[in-house]
Structure 1
């Protein structure tokens, strides 16, 4: 076996071991409380895929048990060169946390509407004049990140964390969520109590394009309910092509997704997550024909994470860190940022040559 073949075999073995570790960690999510803890952690590291947050969590906790890091929870994680860009260096003897990083390739076509016309460009190959060039995720590979406690050097500037009293909602959260609901073409109705909406805290009606929220709750509960209904609007509107197919088949998954979106939005604002209601994982993760519970958990969690990030990115509110060190250039190497999905993404046009 040649050197290149051995390298490929070694990488495939590492990737398989990493996927096995991920499957085991996802399989350990048994109860609703386990799910809530996983999503609360993901909210603190929401810049990365759910799969990678799970891998970081389990490996960091193992490092804590071995005495290699001082706390059971990581603070900021970044790649080797990313830490160097912040004038910090990985300390001798500190092993990085393996994550799934994207492998991308460039494809070119002079007739992009013809699926058979696309050809993969070799490394350094120049497209033909007039070609459209797209970048596509074609696979995954192992990469490594380190927690700030595994590095030393220039201090990291600490960003202020939101602090809230019991029952208080962050300034601007309600208005920001309401704006996103109306931007989707839904009217927001404020009702005096739960009686008019069937005893619920909130209700999304896709037929009338209305979202109703009861107002006889404290501010935090109202904001949580509004985030829950916004989760329904973004994920489950049957008129939209991106509506969750799993949720359409099983209403329990739709409720898990909406409540989980609200949990991540709340956690990103420092709100307590104790009163979020998530049913026993096995009751909904085993409900989709043709998929294993682990596959349902992974796909549900990633839909939740990406939707919560979409909501949070449009809010002008104080939020906790997303897991990246303050001051980090987020346009750094893709393999250090880590994969944001575990399957091939739809290619996006990145340049037009010769036009």
Structure 2
């Protein structure tokens, strides 16, 4: 498959997803659940994998599976995704010398397979979720460290009107909540800090900002195995006059930033223990 053909197919998938979101909030949580498992992939590649194999759990290329002692089963079709490649061109100058141009990024089509399409050696746990799934005791301190590492003041206080607040450079969280709730609220408020700058806060409607923050927090919590309820305003279709495509793009970009940031903080916490 050529890159332009895959681009057209991806565009169709995006339009379908937006239509489904406008009609059914369940689609939002299904897509975000999927995104929580594949945070290292781009928005387009996540969508391509989801449409091809919605139950995928771990994907890799043909050679990568061989290195892990597994091979693709006969007859299994690969999942086409985009892979970037940077190309430099050499141009001749007037004096006859050659000069390299600035590299440009192009995209080619590569194929990956889900683990369910392979057979062979047993696999170790995925490295970025090992020892953190299912409990907030390890990851809450990691989230707190991430917040502070970004120069954001974090305060726990007895607040009653909200679970937490984002004040551009300061996050306040209700102190009486349990660890899971604190982690979820921190993910929500950190999304505001990362995504909603002073300019964005003035430009976007409150419903849009809250939907984006909650969708991001939901994705982060699901990645780390924390049970979290999807509130009604998680459905982006409920937000009037919102560019759903832009909101999805922002969520899919921000949640992985938080996931990777929390994950990087965990080894330091374990060394200090």
TM-score normalised by L of structure 2: 0.79
Aligned to 1:343: none
The residue aligned with 2:94 is: none
The question of 1:59 aligning with 2:52 is answered yes
Q: Which has the higher contact order (CA 8 A, sep 6+)?
A: 1
Measure how far apart 1:162 and its partner are.
4.7
Q: Is the 8 A contact 1:33 1:278 kept in 2?
A: no
Q: Secondary structure at the match of 2:221?
A: helix
Alpha-carbon deviations, 1:239-285, whole Å to 9, x = none? xxxx7x59833332222222222222211211013245534322337
Q: Match for residue 346 of structure 1?
A: none
Which of residues 94, 100, 105 in structure 2 aligns to 1:137?
A: 105
> 2:72 maps to what in 1?
90
Q: Distance in 2 between matches of 1:35 and 1:89?
A: 33
Structure 1 residue 176 and structure 2 residue 126: aligned? no
Distance 1:18 1:179, change over 3 A: closer
1:192 aligns with 2:129: no
Is the 2:80–2:110 contact (alpha carbons within 8 Å) kept by the matching residues of 1? Answer: yes
Output one character per residue of 1:291-343: Cα deviation in whole Å (capped at 9) or x when no partner.
Answer: xx4x32442333333433443343307xxxxxxxxxxxxxxxxxxxxxxxxxx
Question: Is the 8 Å Cα contact of residues 36 and 273 (structure 1) preserved in structure 2?
Answer: no
Note the residue ranges of structure 2 that are not aligned, 5 or more in a row.
92-96, 268-273
Is the contact between residue 80 and residue 111 of structure 2 (CA under 8 Å) also seen in structure 1? Answer: yes
- When the two chains are superposed, the root-mean-square deviation of aligned CA atoms in Å is 3.0
Equivalent residue, structure 1, for 2:270 = none
1:113 is matched with none
Looking at structure 2, the residues matched to 163 and 179 of structure 1 have their Cα atoms a distance apart, in angstroms, of 18
Over 3 Å counting, the alpha-carbon distance change for 1:276 and 1:19 in structure 2 is same
Question: For 1:212 and 1:256, how far apart are their aligned partners in 2?
Answer: 19
Taking the aligned partners of 2:165 and 2:3, their CA distance within structure 1 comes to 49
1:178, distance to aligned residue in structure 2 (A): 2.1
For the structure 1 residues 203 and 277, does the alpha-carbon distance in structure 2 shift closer, same or farther, using more than 3 Å as the test?
A: farther
Query: In the alignment, is the contact (CA less than 8 A) between 2:90 and 2:101 conserved in 1?
Result: no
Alpha-carbon distance change, 255 to 133 in structure 1, aligned in 2, over 3 angstroms: farther
CA gap of 1:308–1:181, structure 2 versus 1, over 3 A, is closer
Q: Distance in 2 between matches of 1:151 and 1:59?
A: 16
The 5 A counterparts of 1:192-341 are: 192-194=158-160, 199-206=161-168, 209-238=169-198, 245=200, 248-276=203-231, 278-284=233-239, 286-288=241-243, 293=244, 295-316=245-266
Aligned position for 1:341: none
SS in 1 for 2:21: coil
Q: Distance in 1 between matches of 2:86 and 2:248?
A: 22
Bigger CA drift: 77-86 or 184-193?
Answer: 184-193
Report the Cα distance in structure 2 between the residues aligned to 1:222 and 1:85, rounded to whole angstroms: 40
SS in 2 for 1:273: coil
Name the one with the larger helix percent.
Answer: 2
- C-alpha spacing 1:220/1:28, structure 2 compared with 1 (3 Å): same
Pick closer, same or farther for the CA change 1:132–1:53 going to 2, 3 Å: same
List per-residue Cα deviations over 1:157-181 (Å, max 9, x = no partner): 24557554xxxx5223222222222
Residue 29 (1) aligns with residue 21 (2): yes
Deviation of the 1:43 alpha carbon: 0.9
